[in-house]
Chain A
Amino acid sequence: MSEGLTPSQTVGPFLGMGLPWPDGPYVVAEGTPGAITISGRLFDGAGDPVPDGLIETWQADPAGRFDHPDDPRGAPAGGTRFRAFGRCPTEEDGSYRIITLRPGALPSPDGAAEAPHLDVSVLARGLLDRVVTRIYFADQAAANAADPVLAGIADEARRATLIATAEPGNADSYRFDIRLQGDGETVFFDV
């Protein structure tokens, strides 16, 4: 039922007042064992950086669990209270950075296994609603090949827009650029 739903509106140019948190990019503290960095830039259809955007991430913990009552598998063992949520405003050059842990793979009701991923919301002036994408990891090739969401995207070049690649010489640092429109446009989802 969608009757009565509150419609979306843009965050506008002044989202930087209300949405960023000082600890937003730090899903875990820098230096946490197993921490990874995901960084990249947000671009518009002219290839220019988007300096007034916000990137939000949501993900499973490294064991593929969510500390959430609607996960029917129950609370994660150990109760580490992993925040699992990151948010980072984009800078003048469109860049953002999230420090987090690698998410685990997930079971799926249809029997498929979802490869490790983060769900991403992109908010910006000029976006009347958030756009949603996913970050997968290039070093999870076998899991990615079996992932039902990636499998649903026939075009290989488009599929590649969802895959973060390790920076040369640093396996814990990944790059994930987001292109809102045009050449190399990132795949966005209707969730």
Chain B
Amino acid sequence: MTTHPPTDLRLPNYPRAGRGVHPPLDSPGYRSTELRAPHQPLVLLPQRLTEITGPLLGPERVTAADADLTRQHPGEPLGERIVVTGRVLDSDGRPIPDTLLEVWQANAAGRYHHKVDQHPAPLDPNFSGVGRAVTDSEGRYRFITIKPGSYPWGNHYNAWRPAHIHFSMFGRAFTQRLVTQMYFPDDPLFPYDPIFNSIPDEKARQRLISKFSIDLTEPDWALAYTWDIVLRGTGQTPLEAQGGAR
């Protein structure tokens, strides 16, 4: 094995998110943070080889059927059929192709297909609520699913979660890993939800809300919502990166 002198190691750098973008781990309004948020300050980790690389999980983890949550069982699930589509980008505007997205969600009645969910709403034998997709060469993804219902939870008196779909993304580097939730426009529960409101910055919070699209809505078939996901970039424009060390 040849070892290059360390000076050859020019690594990309992924600037950290500005204040207020990500929720503070200690967010008392969301009670489960109380015993789980670390008390010690985080230690700054310089980004070296392990951090600027990451799992390149793509087509081998996914079949075409995984992106259509309405066709995973013999019958059609109940509820409002929707298309959820958008792009995975980095904050420099570059699309992230061939990257894995994983989603999970409640059914139309607001019930998860999970043994821990005791909400007295019906399970749907034709809906598991789990999907996967890989972005295309322009970073696009597309899911077909059922609009999830709102559901109560035990955080405080009369607590209800706004309708949401859980999204998990890898990007191309360990620094870019992100798990979040996508919401729907004009949900009346937004003002009351401590998880949504744990994001300090109002503009950042709004970025979790998908947009209804009449253009992408499919006549006589399904409403469409669009939602772009922006992962950390390297602070370089795509042009600079082309002329860079690589």
Across the two chains, which residue of chain B brings its CB closest to A42? B36
Which one, B48, B102, B195, B233, contacts A114 given CB within 8 A? B48
CA gap between A158 and B22 in the complex, in Å: 26
Q: How far is the CA of A4 from the CA of B235 in the complex (A)?
A: 12
Q: A14-B114, A14-B117, A85-B57 are in contact. Are A5 and B91 (CB under 8 A)?
A: yes
**Contact partner, A9, options B7, B25, B195, Cβ 8 Å:** B195
Q: Are B181 and A2 in contact (CB under 8 A)?
A: no
Q: Does B104 lie within 8 Å of A127, measured CB to CB?
A: no
Q: How far is the CA of A110 from the CA of B30 in the complex (A)?
A: 41
A15 interface residue (CB < 8 Å to B): yes
* Any A CB within 8 A of the CB of B113: yes
B146 at the interface (CB under 8 A from A): no
Residue of B nearest to A131 (CB): B38
B81 contacts the other chain (Cβ, under 8 Å)? no
Q: Is A91 part of the binding interface, using a Cβ–Cβ cutoff of 8 Å? A: no
The reply to whether A58 and B35 form a contact with Cβ atoms under 8 Å apart is no
Cβ distance A7 to chain B, nearest Cβ, rounded Å: 5
Q: Is B39 within 8 A of A58, CB to CB?
A: no
Please encode chain B, from 1 to 28, with 1 for each CB lying within 8 Å of some chain A CB and 0 for all others: 1011011111110011110011111010
CA A39 to CA B12, docked complex, whole Å: 32
Within 8 Å by CB of B23, from A48, A66, A106, A129, lies: A129
Contact for B179 among A5, A8, A71, CB less than 8 A: A8
Q: How far is the CB of A178 from chain B (nearest CB, A)?
A: 10
Residues on the A chain within 8 Å of B49, using CB: 60, 66, 71, 106-108, 114
Among A15, A60, A66, A83, the residue within 8 A (CB) of B166 is A15
Q: Which residues of A contact B207 (CB under 8 A)?
A: 4-7
A129 to chain B, nearest CB (A): 5
Instruction: Decide: A130 and B38 in contact? CB cutoff 8 A.
Output: no
A156 at the interface (CB under 8 A from B): no
B38 adjacent to A10 (CB under 8 Å): no
Bound-complex Cα distance A5 to B206 (A): 11
Q: A52 contacts which chain B residues (CB < 8 A)?
A: 116
B158 interface residue per 8 A CB criterion: no
Is the CB–CB distance between B9 and A108 below 8 Å? Answer: yes
Quick check: B179 and A123 within 8 Å, CB to CB?
Answer: yes
Give complex CA distance A127, B204 in Å. 18
B179-223 interface mask toward A, CB cutoff 8 Å, 1 = contact, 0 = none? 111000000000000011011010011011000000000000000
A60 and B49 CA atoms in complex are apart in Å by 9
Known contacts A6-B178, A7-B208; is A107 also within 8 Å of B50 by CB? no
**Neighbouring A residues of B181 by C-beta, 8 Å:** 9-10, 12
Check: B32 CB closer than 8 A to any chain A CB. yes
Contact of B52 (CB < 8 Å), options: A14, A60, A70, A121: A70
Please, how many angstroms separate the alpha-carbon atoms of A9 and B113 in the complex? 20
Taking CB atoms, residues of chain B closer than 8 Å to A1 are 15, 91-92, 233, 235
Tell me if B82 counts as interface (CB < 8 A to partner A).
Answer: no
User: Could you tell me which A residues sit within 8 Å of B by CB distance?
Assistant: 1-19, 21, 44-46, 48, 50, 52, 56, 58-60, 63, 66-73, 77, 83-85, 106-111, 114, 117-119, 121, 123-132, 134, 148-149, 152-153, 158, 180-182, 185-191
Q: List 24 A-B residue pairs with CB atoms under 8 Å apart, sorted by A's residue number.
A: A2-B21, A6-B229, A6-B231, A7-B23, A9-B166, A10-B32, A14-B114, A17-B114, A18-B103, A19-B104, A68-B172, A70-B52, A71-B49, A107-B9, A109-B48, A110-B6, A111-B6, A126-B30, A128-B30, A152-B43, A181-B36, A188-B40, A188-B42, A190-B44
Given contacts A77-B1, A185-B40, 8 further A-B contacts (CB under 8 A): A4-B230, A10-B30, A12-B181, A68-B53, A70-B11, A128-B27, A180-B35, A185-B39
Of all A-B residue pairs in the complex, the 4 with the closest CB atoms, nearest first, are A18-B104, A126-B32, A85-B55, A126-B36
